[in-house]
Structure formats: structure tokens, C-alpha cells
Amino acid sequence: MGQPQRPIAAEHTIIALGRVLQTLREEDNVDVLIDTTIAYIKEQFDYNLVWIALYDRPKHTLVGKGGVAPDGDTKFLRKQVTLTPGGLLEQVVIEQRPLGVADLRLEPRAAEWQEIGKKFNIQGTVVLPIRYRDCFLGLLLFGSERWGYLLPGDAKARLLMVLGELGAVLYQQEVNLQQQQTKHLDQPILHLLENLRTLNNIDQKLKAVVQTTHQFVAPSRTNIYWFERQGRYFWCRMSNQLANIGRNNSQQQLAAGMTVQDLSEFYYALSVNQIVLIGDERSSLKSHFTAKVLERLQVRSLLAAPIMWQKELLGFLAVEANEPRIWTEADKNFVQSAAGLVSLVAPSETMDTTIKQIQEDAQLTSQVAQAIYHEDDLQATLRTCATKVLTRFAATRFLLLQYNPDLNSYQIIFQTQPQNRRPLTVSFSTLKDMDEQMLKSATTAVEVQKVEEDLRFFNWRPLLLEHGMRSLLVCNCAQEHTPNALLVIAHETNRGWASLDKELLWAVSQQIGVIVRQWQLNAEVEQQQKILHSIQRCLRILEKTQNDTTESGVERLERTAIEQIATVLHSPLAVLLSWSPGDNFAEIIPSVIHDSRFAVVTDQPVPIHTEAIIQWALAKDDYVCVYADDLPAETRKWLNGQNIGQVLAIALRTSADYAPTGVVLVADYRERYWTEQSLNATETLVTQLAWSRRQQQITKLLESSNQELRQLNWYKHRRLEEIQRTATQLFSQIEDLGIPSNELTQTRYKLLLRQLDHNTAAMTALVKLEQWQLHQSSETMPIASLLKRSLERVDNLLKQRKLWAGVHGLGQSATDTDSGNSGIFLKGLQSSSYPSSLAITGDIVKFELVLYELLIVACNRSQSGGRIDIWCRRLEEKLLEISITDHGMIEPPLLAALQHQIPKDILARSYLNQPPALHLLICQQLTQQLGGTLDFYQLPDYRVVSRLVLPLAD
């Protein structure tokens, strides 16, 4: 079966396509290429309007190259079309993809083409980009009188192939054209280098650079501007139109120069080594500054390259054009290279001056170092340093600042200024975080050329401008440390400094930092010595008055301490607001009033709970400082001195568990401030005063209590002696009567005599052995007998309050249960009811008194009709536990005090200072001394337990 025959129409189409592609590959002329493409489209496609345009990238316009018009007039197809933002054609240029319009007459984004569509009744329109490798080169626009996107798939494919080949040829021709038009830098630069090597004079070298640059770039004029730091302006040093322009020629200088103040952004761009380009519709500066630069130089285009040396701006090389011009890459590269060559040859002009300056700077740093280590007077040392620095830097003010943490500002500790200027009497506010970090990390002086425009040290700006300081050099005197000391030199005009100047001042500032540190250490040592002397004197006086507990002794202690506090703080008024625990009013104790204008009303009671200054002091752990304006009217009634500006208050504290018993008040002028060291010393003195007062109060209280106990003991002992004497007499009288004849009476008499003899013996032992201290004896008694005797002693109290008392678990071990033990009632108790094998050992009399005291408290605590249970249990290690439980009420503070959960303050009122808690505390302490323990606690069912543990006999 043979091959099918192709349609004749298809063969013609392929042949035509191949012919046009072959033509596009072989042709170099752009017009021929465009005409070939238009002819192919006209022949192969039925379109009424065809337009081909090429893209002018610098001007952002489309240049018409011809096409097909319905009326045959193709003049409008060769016009230049400016692209408008948001337009249909600009969209194709930006996106580089085909775009279709159903009706060109109704498309508002087509601008002029909409009018053409209306004129020729063009509806369906398609725009295809001509591109190569993402490079837009032009576009093809064709339209028809039919509505819609009239471009079938096969037709679109053929068009894209033709446009792709056209784009490749156009791209290659553009590349070739750019290569032909590109200027070669190597030969002019090499020639310029040779000239610079042979020339000796700097002005001749600058002239050669200007002439070579002018020949290569071909601008309207070429100039080299030099930067003058003292006045912060540029002056034209060399030009291709004029001879060498010297700085001494004032008229030419003003005509050809410009100040940094006028063109700040232009200057800052050059100072960071950026080339400034202002051309046709393009600028590296903002529009506002672009207009100012062009107006100042009276040009339309500018290309300026900075001349730098060691990161310092020496000037710039400028090529200027009177007409708008597009600067090529070759122009920019050559100007930048020429400026770099000037940077290399410029230092040779000032080489001798630089060497001499370096020698003088080295001598300056050496002299400053010698002054530091050989001068005893630090003020004279700083004066010598400041004179040399001001002379070297031609500055007007030398300021040495030190940060004062108490005032949160920088204070001037040394300054020099011209004779016609007054010294500064102000302080500088603290630095912002950014400025502080900048100074901390800086390794050279921080330069501020124009205070009114620079954002660094912004919060100092009003102060600096007010005192005529418009440019600064600021150094941190301790590198990599928080800037506590700053060296500032200032000038009355806007100016700049070279890197060498900044490095020199930095070296000097580090040496001056040693002076400041030594100065600070000397001041701190002197202040600490004064404070230490005051504290030592106060402590010696406190030691002398420590043991004097009389009223005059306490007053002398308080007055002495307050006087020392006033001495440390250098304040004219210091008083003490004193009270005792439980008081509602404080007493004003005036100690120091050096000025009658700082008086207080001493005879007015001060309410503790409502007085603001007292409550403020009690609420703070350290001290509180308030202005007199903030004090309430009630406080001003007694703190009424007319010159009182601020008040410092510190509470007398000893421990967190003890309530304060006073507040120290110190008053001074409003503008007065206290250093941190003096405040710390004051807190130490106040704390020592608080402990001394407390110790005196405790000593006084203990002496009083001891006196009462001595009296009580004397009274009880004398009574016991009298009882013992009387009992002895009675015993003697009974013996004198003889023994009755009746046998029964005789037996009763013997029994009474035996009991009387036993009591007399007990009282005799008490009088002899326990006159001033307790005596411990060692006896053994069955626990049953001990419990029976104790219950018999409280029998009447149990009956009065209708209480039930019982004993449980007597004689069982710790592993036995209590469920099988019934309560043993008081009535009918017999000794035989208790096992006789359990017995306790120790001072039985005192154990019996303790158990008796616990039963009395339990009875008094219980409600009428209640019950008291006595639980006995044998513990390990030969111990017996006796737990007395009752349903009575006990106050939680009392229970906490018995459990030692609350620290005992001897001066404060306590439950342990009076019965029954006092008796229970005595029993607790006595039991512990006798080898047992006594604890109190409450069960979850609110029963109160008194747990007594006693030693068992072997």
C-alpha cells in the first residue's frame, strides 16, 4: 500500500514557512528582516492590520518598523509609541506572553490603537511578543474586521516559529552592536597610569586624570572636587575648562564649590564609597536631592565617583553633561577607575605633613601617659591633657563625663572651654540603648559632624545646640565596658575629623579612663572611710549604752544612733517615731534638728495604722523616699518644716517574725540626693539600732520577770518553812499526849501519825533540796497506781462538770487492739483492776503533777456531760504512751504555740505567757528534762489529744 498524497495547500504552507525561516537566518539587515516577516504574514494570513515594533529598553518605548494598513497608508505604523503604566502593550512587554482582544474598538487600555480600531473597524486583535532567552525585543500586532480571537492553532504555531527565529536574529545583532559600541578601558587606563608615573606634581597628576577621563567619556565638562573637613564643603580643585583652582582663590572657590549642608544625601552616598549616577530619567538619589544637585552644578546629567583613602572621603571625580544622557557601563567603570587612581596618588601630597603629624600624635600620647603616672594632682593632670587635646584637634570644648547611678545622668567632672565661654553647669541625660551599645562596641571615637541632623545622641541635641556645640567626637573611656566615663570634644561649627584624629583621641581617652578610674576609687575610699568611721563611732556608743536599761539609757541609745544617721546622710533633720507592740500611737522622739526651718511638732501623737509615711515605710523592705508635696495634709500637720523638700523613711526591723517598733525619718531639701553607699550605711545603722532597742527591751523584761520569780520563790519557800515548822510542832504535841488506851483509837492515831510524818518528810525534802532549783529523784510506781491517784485528785472536778472518764488498753503492747477493752469508770476503781507488771521509773511526784495538770486542763476544756478517755499503750524501747483525749475546744493559735510552730517573741503578747498555756509549757519542758515527751495535737474528728510518753521500769 503506497504513501498517501499530501494536500497541495499544506505543501504550499510548509514551503512558504521554510522559505521565510531560511531568509531570516541568512539576512543581517533589520529592515529586510521586518519586511520579510510582514510579507510572509500578509501572504499566509488574512488580516487587515499588521504592525511590528521593536523595543527601546532605555527609553521604555516601542519603535514602529512598518506593517499592513487597511487604507495602504503605513506612516502611523512607523511612529514611536511610549508605553503607559497599565496599558495593553506594556502588559505584553512585562509578561512576554501573547494577548488577545475580541474587539479593539472597545478596549480602553489600547489608547491610540482603540481609535485606529474605530477608524478601520478592526475587532479581533492578537499581540505576540518577539523575545529570545527571556529578553524582550519587540512585538507583532495584527487584527481583523471579524470579532474574536482569530488565530487557529496551526497558524499560531507557524507565527511563533517565525517570531522565534526573528527574535534570535535580532538578539544576536543587538549583542554585536553593543560589543561594537563598547569602549575598551584597558588602553586609556594604561596610558593614564604611565602619565601618572612620570609626573611629580599632584596638580599635574590631577590634570592628567581629568583630561583622560574627559576624552574617554566625552561629557560637557570634567571636574575633580576636593573635600574640606573644617568647613564641610567641596571645592573644585581641577577642571578641564579651567586651570588649577586653589583654595585661596575665594571667588572661584565659591563659584565652583558646594557645602555638605546643601547636598547631604549626595555627600553620604559618596562617603560610603557609592558612585552617584544621574542620567536621562534615572538617578541613584531621591528625586528631591537629584534636582538640588543638578541645579547647584547647573547640569542635566552627572556621574560622580568618590575618591577614598583609608575609608576617608578626600573628594570625588565628576563628569557632567548639559543634556540628559544615558551613562553606559563603560563610562561608570572608567570614572570609578580614574577616581581610584586619584586615591592612590593623593596621599603623596601630604606625606610629609602626615609623618610630622604622626610624630606629634605619638608625642602627645606619650606626654599624657607620663602625666598620668607622674602627677599627684589629678585635676592638674586632666588640665594638662585637655590643653594638649584641644590644641591638637582645634576644638572649643573638652568635657569629661561620668555616669551617676543615683541621679541616672552623666555629670561633668572636668571641663575646659575658651576664655569667652562660660563653663557648663548642666548634666547630660542617660544614653539611649542604641547609643550605649554603639559606644560599648566602638574601637574608635564616634564622630557627629552635624548635631542638628545626626540621630545619634539625639536626647543630647537640645542641650548641645543651646551651648553652641554643633560637632562632636565622643569616646568611651573603657573599651568593651558599659560607658560610665565619656570623653567629649566639641566644635562650634559643623565639621568632620579624619580617621587618624579619631584613633588618636580614642588612645588618649583610654589613658584618661585610667585617671577617671583612679579618681573614682579615691572618692569611694574616702567616702567609705567616713562611713566606716561613723559606723564604728555609733557601734561604740551603742556598746556603752547596751546594758543601760533605764529610761535615760534607752533614750540616749536612740538619740545617739539617730545623730550618727544624720551625720552619714548630712541631713538637717532626723527623728524617730517609736512605739511598743500593741500600741496605736507612735511617739515622736526628736534627735537631730540643725535648722529651725526643718522643725516638727513633737507633742502630737501619730496614729500608727493611719499615718501614711509609717505605712509606706512598713510596706517596704528597705527604704522609701517621697517628696513633701506628696505627703497628705495629716502628715504635714506635725511634719511642718517650711524647707522640708523630701523625706526618707526606714522602718526598725529585726526579723521577719517580729513586728517593727519604729520608723526613722530623715528630711532634707527637695534637690538633695543621697548616694547608694550612704543609704546602705544608713540601713546598717537602722538595723543595728533596731536590734539594740529590742535587746534592751528584752533585757528589761527578763529582769522584771526574774525579779518577780525571785519574790514568788522567796514567798513560797517561806510559807513552806512555816508549814513545815507548824507540822513539826503538831507532831510533837501529839506524841506528848501519848497513846490512847482504846485499841481502835490507838490504831487510827498511829495511821494519822504515819501520814503526818510522811507529809512532814516530803516538805522537809522540798525545803532542803529544792530551795532554788528542781531536784530529780528516781522511783518506781505501777502505772495503775499513778492513774488511780491522778483520777482521785480530779474526782470532784469530774463530778461538778458531769464528765465521764475511762482508761483503755492498760498494759497492752503497741500491736494490741483497743476494741476489746471497755472503759474503766472512776467509781469503783480498784488497784487490782490494773495489771501490776507495768511500772514507770523516774521522778514519780513530778510525773504525777504533770498528769494531774493535763487532766485539769482537759476537764476545764470539755463541755458538761462529755467524756475524757485515757489510752495506754506500750511502745518500743521501754516507753509507755498515755494519750488523754477530750472533745473540748482549743484555739488554733494556742495549739500552734504548744507545737512550736510560731516563733516565740519575748516582747510580743503570747498565749504562753499566762495559764493554762503557761502551765502546759512548763509541763512540756519539765517532762523533757525527766526523760519523757509531751505533745499536743488535734485529730480529724476535732478531738484534742495530750500525748505523754514516760519511761518504763525494767
pLDDT at 374 over 60: no
Angle at which helix 153-181 crosses helix 8-26, to 10 degrees, equals 10
C-alpha cell at 773: 532549783
Of 102-106, 378-382, 463-467, 567-571, least confident by mean pLDDT is 378-382
Residue 867, pLDDT score: 92
Do 745 and 736 meet the contact criterion of CB atoms below 8 Å apart?
Answer: no
179-205 confidence digits (pLDDT tens):
665 566 777 878 888 887 788 788 888
Give pLDDT, residue 902.
Answer: 65
Residue with cell 507583532: 140
SS3 439: helix
What is the rounded average pLDDT of the residues 16-37? 80
Average pLDDT, the chain: 80
pLDDT classification of 937: cutoffs 50, 70, 90: very high
Q: If you average pLDDT over residues 546-566, what whole number do you get? A: 72
Is 685 in contact with 561 (CB distance < 8 Å)?
A: yes
Q: What single DSSP character describes residue 111? A: T
> Model confidence over 28-47: pLDDT tens digits?
788 888 888 888 888 888 88
In this predicted structure, the answer to whether residue 884 has a pLDDT above a threshold of 90 is yes
Give the residue from 119, 498, 29 showing the smallest Cα distance to 308: 498
Pairing of strands 428-429, 258-259: unpaired
For residues 6-15, average pLDDT:
64
What pairs with residue 308 in β-bridges? 313
- Rounded to an integer, the average pLDDT of 473-486 is 88
- pLDDT exceeds 90 at position 474: yes
Q: List residues bridging with 296 in a β-sheet.
A: none
**Residue 143 phi, psi dihedral angles, 5° rounding:** -140, 165
Give residues with Cβ within 8 angstroms of 507, minimum separation 6. 365
How much is the pLDDT for 870? 94
DSSP codes joined into one string, 873-915: EEETTTEEEEEEEE-----HHHHHHHTT-S---TTS--GGGST
pLDDT digits (tens, 9 = 90+) for 567-590: 888 888 888 888 888 888 888 887
387: cell is: 590643653
The pLDDT of residue 307 is above 70:
yes
- pLDDT in the model for residue 58: 72
**What distance in Å separates the CA atoms of residue 854 and residue 946, rounded to the nearest whole number?**
7
Dump pLDDT digits (tens) for 863-872: 988 999 999 9
Residue type, position 622, single letter: D
Say which range, 173-182, 754-763, 770-779, 938-947, has the weakest mean pLDDT: 173-182
User: pLDDT at position 815, please?
Assistant: 33
pLDDT grade for 829, boundaries at 50, 70 and 90: very low
Q: Name, in order, each residue with C-beta under 8 angstroms of 373's C-beta and a sequence gap of 6 or more.
A: none
Q: Which of 401-410, 538-547, 695-704 has the weakest average pLDDT? A: 538-547
With DSSP H G I counted as helix, E B as strand and the rest as coil, what are the percentages for the chain, rounded to 5? 50, 20, 30
Alpha carbon separation from 60 to 137, 170, 173, 229, 331 (Å, rounded): 11, 17, 19, 42, 21
pLDDT for 475:
93
Percent of the chain with pLDDT over 70: 84
> Which residues, 6+ apart, have CB-to-CB distance to 595 below 8 Å?
572, 573, 641, 643
**What is the tally of helices (H) and strands (E) in the chain?**
26, 32
Please give the order of strands across the beta sheet that includes 804-808. Answer: 804-808, 867-875, 879-886, 944-951, 933-938
Top-confidence residue, 161 or 230: 161
CA–CA distance from 151 to each of 529, 555, 696 (Å)? Answer: 102, 115, 114
Q: What is the structure's pLDDT at 122?
A: 85
- For the chain, what's the residue count? 954
**pTM of structure:** 0.44
| Averaged pLDDT, 449-467 | 89
Taking alpha carbons only, the member of 617, 641, 628 closest to residue 670 is 628
Task: Say how far apart CA 213 and CA 217 lie, in whole Å.
Answer: 6
In the predicted structure, residue 820 carries a pLDDT above the cut 80: no
Rounded Cα distance between 205 and 263, Å, is 28
For residue range 772-801, list pLDDT tens digits in order.
777 788 889 998 888 988 898 888 889 998
pLDDT score at 827: 39
Mean pLDDT of 295-323: 86
Cell of 861: 476544756
Q: How confident is the model at residue 817 (pLDDT cuts 50, 70, 90)?
A: very low
Quote the radius of gyration of the chain (alpha carbons, Å).
Answer: 55
109, 85 Cβ separation under 8 angstroms? no
Q: Which long-range contacts (C-beta less than 8 Å, at least 24 apart) are formed by 18-27?
A: 20/162, 21/161, 21/162, 21/165, 24/162, 24/165, 24/166, 24/169, 25/165, 25/169, 27/169
Residue 741: pLDDT above 70? Answer: no
Element (H, E) at 380: helix 378-393
Please state, in angstroms and rounded to a whole number, the distance separating the CA atoms of residues 31 and 611.
103
Average pLDDT over residues 401-417: 86
Q: By mean pLDDT, which of 10-19, 226-235, 617-626 is the weakest? A: 10-19
Closest to 399 measured CA to CA, from 407, 390, 391, 408 = 390
Tell whether the model's pLDDT for residue 595 goes beyond 70. yes
Residue 611 has pLDDT above 60, yes or no: yes
pLDDT at 816 over 70: no
Q: In the beta sheet, which residues pair with residue 871?
A: 808, 883
What pLDDT score does 249 carry? 43
Give pLDDT tens digits for 72-126.
778 888 888 888 877 888 888 888 888 888 888 888 888 788 888 888 888 888 8
- Are residues 677 and 528 in contact, defined by beta-carbon separation less than 8 angstroms? yes
CA dihedral sign, ordered 597, 601, 602, 607: negative
Q: Where are the beta strands (DSSP E) in 240-326?
A: 258-259, 276-279, 282-283, 301-309, 312-321
Instruction: Answer yes or no: is pLDDT of 905 > 80.
Output: no
CB atoms within 10 A of CB 538: 24
